[in-house]
Chain A
Amino acid sequence: MKNIAISSAAALSMLANTAFAETEITWWHAMGGALGETVNEIAEGFNASQDEYTITPVFKGTYEETLTAGIAAFRAGEQPNIMQVFDAGAATVIAAEGATVPVQNLLEANDVGFDIEDYISGVRYFYADADGKMIGMPFNSSSPIMYYNVQALEAAGVTPPVTWEEFETVTAPALKKAGFTAMSQSHLPWIFVENFMSRHDLPFATNANGYDGADGTEILVNIDPLKAHFTALTKWQDAGYFEWFGTGWGDNQTPFEEGKVAIWFGSSGSFGGLSKKDLGFDFSATYLPYWEAVTTEPKQTFIGGAALFAMAGQPDEEDAATAAFFKYLTSPEVQYMWHRETGYVPITTAAYEMATADGHYDRAPAAETGILQLSLDAGENTRGYRMGFYVQIRDVMNREFGRILTGEASVDDAFAAIETEANELLARFAKTQN
């Protein structure tokens, strides 16, 4: 009996040695369609580059669905090695200490060189903790930028607006005269709140924008500059300078693609998709405008998109595989390929330099806008924000902004409602952290 047990154990371990010579890791992501194909390409490239590790990417649906699936898997002890988490979910995953291995620790423990200064400045701290330690590896990083229809602006005889004052008095009236709706945007909370704060260097929440902990963090949206911006939006809507097509991202992008809207605020990550379309006009992009009345020194924006988190509780050799993959992923060649194919920004300076040297920005100047904007001067409040239950806070903002723009609520009432409900959610989140 004993003999059988010993010999079968020996046979098993031999089997294990041959069958599992390669350490296998999984990567759950939310990149569908063409983006998913590029993700698969990266994974195949990594698998081909060495023979110790194999990575399997798995598409799990939208950002929210991926996060929920990852959380459920973690609670069941079946978590993947790598999980993609989007900007609004960052607080949830970073606050849960022990759910992930900070990427900085992971890389250092596995002797993969790490220097936060290698990363471009708008990227460094968004997924970092209060001490500036990088927790998640920025992956598909994007920032909102201003796209414009070159022919439309030429027809109206204007240049892309630098300030909102210029948009209001010069650009928009001229575009309207030339037969265009001057502007539309996708994702009001992201572009006209979160990055509005960063661009104007305004505090978004107490506790250093929430980085110092969930306890007592309160949102600071009920402020004059922001209310003035939304009041201006309603005025522009009435004047035919601005049209809002709903909360859906695509609903606001389509009229730009159709040539009805001359200026569209979208993501730098939209660049790849837009350039592959047959638009019938040339487009280019530049920085988000700022209100001169609020600041004369506009600052950088910060990254949206998502980051990769190494889930805790994995065997050491799998963590080593994850570290090796992160090293591969952040190599200039892979970053440049990802940047070129998708339009997401390259996250390291080295990759950016490679793209520059290759002449990518001579061929497509608009592709550089996002990274340039992320590398503008930093300010007190430009590294990002960290708020729990932020997905719901965004939902509240979307709802109230919808009410403003359909005339159901006044700007003052809407912002008061956002402040109240967001603070309630923040307090509830703080309670979950005990």
Chain B
Amino acid sequence: MKRAGFATRWLPILLLLPQLAIIAVFFYWPAAHAVQSSFYLEDPFGFGSSFVGFDNYTHLTSSSEYARIAKFTLLFTVLVTFFSLALALLLAVKADNVIRGAKTYRTLLMWVYAVAPPVAGFIGLLMFNQSWGPLTELARSIGWDFKLGVNFDDTATAMVLVSVWKQVPVNFIFFLSGLQSIPKSVREAALIDAKSSFRRFWDVTFPLLAPTGFFLLIINITYALFDTFGVVDTLVKGEPGNNPMTLVYKVYVDGFRGNDLGGSSAQSVILMVLVLALTVFQFRLVERRIHYT
């Protein structure tokens, strides 16, 4: 194999420069700023600030409320990731088998993808309206006195449902294309070897879907952690009260609503470390064990 290369050392750097500049300005600089301000308590208008060392962090670690929100975020992430992957996989397998009207099914299933998170949240708000929401009435008809915005668990349920509903189409598209890229010959061979479709799925299809699956796993964890902000904000109507919220939402509540810049920065630094850990996990562990063909 012939190695392609640049004749000078400066040309590649020059070509990389625009991209590096953008990363530096829009990522490293704000990130460094966040780290710096997490060690200060600052007057919102910027007239005074005092260095407090790790106070903002110890304040968080000693706060039972922060621990409660962290626990909820973990549970929320697990539930949203699991259900949106499982449902999408189920739908993709079923849609893959459909021959007649396949296009219509696929379009219908992908449809929700175009809905923005706040809009999804708003639809959720309508569905779970306290006095006339169809889903509230459905819950009441089975004896569940569903109260969005009043009961912690009910609000959490609505958040999970709306977030899953919003995420299923993305996963569905990936799973479906993953399924359709499995060579026909492999499927036919499997058909001969295993009679039960259940076995065929677990022994042949599922492992071949693994790269797609692991990719989606990371995407979904990130989605549940960060992109559900709009859903959470709409469902709690900007006033969390005793309703559940996620860690990202807490950053917003303290920083943008409450003007506590130091405390909010410390929280975003914690989230940044979390993202870093996820990235390392993805590249080091997952990518090494999964074989792309």
- A positions within 8 Å CB-CB of B: 62, 64-65, 67-68, 71, 74-75, 89, 92-93, 95-99, 244-249, 251, 254-255, 258, 389, 391-392, 395, 398-403, 405-406, 408, 421, 424-425, 428, 431-434
A residues less than 8 Å from B260 (CB atoms): 389, 392, 425, 428
Tell whether, in the assembled complex, residue B47 and residue A392 are in contact, meaning their CB atoms are under 8 Å apart.
Answer: no
Tell whether, in the assembled complex, residue B150 and residue A75 are in contact, meaning their CB atoms are under 8 Å apart.
Answer: no
Given contacts A71-B259, A406-B151, contact A395 B253 (CB under 8 A): yes
Tell whether, in the assembled complex, residue A245 and residue B130 are in contact, meaning their CB atoms are under 8 Å apart.
Answer: yes
- Closest residue to B254 on the A side, CB-wise? A392
Can you identify 6 A-B contacts, CB atoms within 8 angstroms? A65-B256, A246-B149, A247-B237, A247-B240, A401-B242, A402-B241
Tell whether, in the assembled complex, residue B241 and residue A432 are in contact, meaning their CB atoms are under 8 Å apart.
Answer: no
Closest Cβ of chain B: how far from A239's Cβ, in Å? 18
Assembly CA distance A323 to B190 (angstroms): 83
Tell whether, in the assembled complex, residue A406 and residue B47 are in contact, meaning their CB atoms are under 8 Å apart.
Answer: no
Given contacts A92-B259, A389-B258, contact A247 B45 (CB under 8 A): no
- Closest residue to B155 on the A side, CB-wise? A246
- B147-185 Cβ-contact flags toward A at 8 Å (1 or 0): 111111000000000000000000000000000000000
Task: Say yes or no: is B188 at the interface (Cβ < 8 Å to chain A).
Answer: no
- Closest residue to B50 on the A side, CB-wise? A434
Chain B interface mostly: loop
Assembly CA distance A432 to B48 (angstroms): 6
Which of B147, B149, B238, B242 is within 8 Å of A399, CB to CB?
B242
Task: Say yes or no: is B52 at the interface (Cβ < 8 Å to chain A).
Answer: yes
Can you add 20 more A-B contacts, CB < 8 Å, to A75-B45, A406-B151?
Answer: A64-B256, A68-B257, A89-B259, A97-B47, A98-B47, A99-B45, A246-B130, A246-B147, A251-B130, A254-B130, A392-B258, A395-B257, A395-B258, A401-B241, A402-B150, A402-B242, A408-B152, A431-B41, A432-B50, A434-B48
Which of A65, A246, A391, A428 is within 8 Å of B241, CB to CB?
A246
Tell whether, in the assembled complex, residue A99 and residue B47 are in contact, meaning their CB atoms are under 8 Å apart.
Answer: yes
Given contacts A99-B45, A431-B52, A434-B48, contact A247 B257 (CB under 8 A): no
Tell whether, in the assembled complex, residue B256 and residue A68 are in contact, meaning their CB atoms are under 8 Å apart.
Answer: yes
Task: Say yes or no: is B46 at the interface (Cβ < 8 Å to chain A).
Answer: yes
- Closest residue to B239 on the A side, CB-wise? A247
Q: How many residues of B contact A (CB 8 A)?
A: 38
Assembly CA distance A246 to B65 (angstroms): 19
B residues less than 8 Å from A398 (CB atoms): 239-242
- B41-67 Cβ-contact flags toward A at 8 Å (1 or 0): 111111111101000000100000100
- Closest residue to B64 on the A side, CB-wise? A417
Assembly CA distance A99 to B45 (angstroms): 7
A residues less than 8 Å from B49 (CB atoms): 432
Assembly CA distance A64 to B46 (angstroms): 18
Closest Cβ of chain A: how far from B230's Cβ, in Å? 15
Tell whether, in the assembled complex, residue B237 and residue A248 are in contact, meaning their CB atoms are under 8 Å apart.
Answer: yes
Task: Say yes or no: is B131 at the interface (Cβ < 8 Å to chain A).
Answer: yes
Tell whether, in the assembled complex, residue A391 and residue B238 are in contact, meaning their CB atoms are under 8 Å apart.
Answer: no
Task: Say yes or no: is B121 at the interface (Cβ < 8 Å to chain A).
Answer: no
Closest Cβ of chain B: how far from A403's Cβ, in Å? 5
Assembly CA distance A64 to B237 (angstroms): 13
Tell whether, in the assembled complex, residue B239 and residue A258 are in contact, meaning their CB atoms are under 8 Å apart.
Answer: no
B residues less than 8 Å from A399 (CB atoms): 65, 240-242
B residues less than 8 Å from A408 (CB atoms): 152, 242
Which of B41, B44, B149, B253 is within 8 Å of A245, CB to CB?
B149
Assembly CA distance A96 to B43 (angstroms): 8
Given contacts A406-B151, A432-B42, A433-B48, contact A255 B131 (CB under 8 A): yes
Tell whether, in the assembled complex, residue A391 and residue B41 are in contact, meaning their CB atoms are under 8 Å apart.
Answer: no
Assembly CA distance A415 to B27 (angstroms): 42
Given contacts A62-B238, A395-B253, contact A406 B259 (CB under 8 A): no
Closest Cβ of chain A: how far from B222's Cβ, in Å? 26
- B225-253 Cβ-contact flags toward A at 8 Å (1 or 0): 00000000000111111110000000001
Task: Say yes or no: is B263 at the interface (Cβ < 8 Å to chain A).
Answer: yes
Q: CB within 8 Å of A: which of B16-74?
A: 41-50, 52, 59, 65
Closest Cβ of chain A: how far from B118's Cβ, in Å? 13
Assembly CA distance A251 to B151 (angstroms): 13
Tell whether, in the assembled complex, residue B152 and residue A245 are in contact, meaning their CB atoms are under 8 Å apart.
Answer: no
Closest Cβ of chain B: how far from A191's Cβ, in Å? 15
B residues less than 8 Å from A246 (CB atoms): 130, 147-150, 241
Assembly CA distance A251 to B130 (angstroms): 8
B residues less than 8 Å from A424 (CB atoms): 59
Assembly CA distance A11 to B243 (angstroms): 62
Which of A67, A245, A389, A425 is within 8 Å of B150, CB to CB?
A245
Tell whether, in the assembled complex, residue B131 and residue A254 are in contact, meaning their CB atoms are under 8 Å apart.
Answer: yes
Closest Cβ of chain B: how far from A242's Cβ, in Å? 13
Assembly CA distance A399 to B64 (angstroms): 13
Tell whether, in the assembled complex, residue B256 and residue A247 are in contact, meaning their CB atoms are under 8 Å apart.
Answer: no
A residues less than 8 Å from B151 (CB atoms): 406
Tell whether, in the assembled complex, residue A74 and residue B45 are in contact, meaning their CB atoms are under 8 Å apart.
Answer: yes
Assembly CA distance A357 to B237 (angstroms): 41
Tell whether, in the assembled complex, residue B43 and residue A247 are in contact, meaning their CB atoms are under 8 Å apart.
Answer: no
Tell whether, in the assembled complex, residue A247 and residue B50 are in contact, meaning their CB atoms are under 8 Å apart.
Answer: no
Residue of A389, A391, A392, A432 most packed against chain B (CB within 10 A):
A432
